[in-house]
Structures are given as structure tokens and as C-alpha cells.
């Protein structure tokens, strides 16, 4: 069960079109730190899946992004 304010990553291509990826957990993360730690470990897999940029969301609110995955 995902919390209403769960932290999630929105994955996009360079034009801002959403990219679905099995790499991203569907339940979200309990906090910003956990979400950022996961991204630091998983960015290369996301890039391999066609994700070019990500935005961090808390619920529906964009915390920051889009942020390029180019070059790690």
C-alpha cells in the first residue's frame, strides 16, 4: 500500500514524454533520501531502458527536475 505522499520518480525521454520502465518501483519510497539513494544506484539501468531525464515527486508535487541522466 503506497502512502498518499509517497516519493516517486517520473521518467521521461528528452522531449518530456513519459517512459515506462520496470526498473522503477511502483510503490514509491517512504522519503526523499530513500528515493535519491535508489536513483544513485539505478540511474544506469534507467538510461539503458531509454530514460533520459527524471523528476522527483512527492505525491503530485514536483520537488525537482527534470534532471538529465547523461553522464551519471
What are 2-60's pLDDT values in tens digits?
A: 446 799 999 999 899 998 888 888 789 999 999 999 999 999 999 999 999 999 999 99
SS (H, E, C) 22-51: CCCCCCCECCHHHHHHHHHHHHHHHHHCCC
- pTM comes to 0.86
* Interatomic CA distance for residues 21 and 34, integer angstroms: 19
Amino acid at each position: 500500500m503506497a502512502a498518499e505522499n509517497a516519493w516517486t520518480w517520473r521518467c521521461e525521454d528528452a522531449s518530456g514524454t513519459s517512459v515506462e520502465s520496470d526498473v522503477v518501483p511502483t510503490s514509491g519510497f517512504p522519503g526523499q533520501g530513500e528515493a535519491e539513494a535508489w536513483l544513485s544506484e539505478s540511474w544506469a539501468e534507467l538510461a539503458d531502458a531509454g530514460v533520459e531525464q527524471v523528476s522527483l515527486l512527492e505525491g503530485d508535487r514536483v520537488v525537482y527536475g527534470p534532471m538529465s541522466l547523461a553522464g551519471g
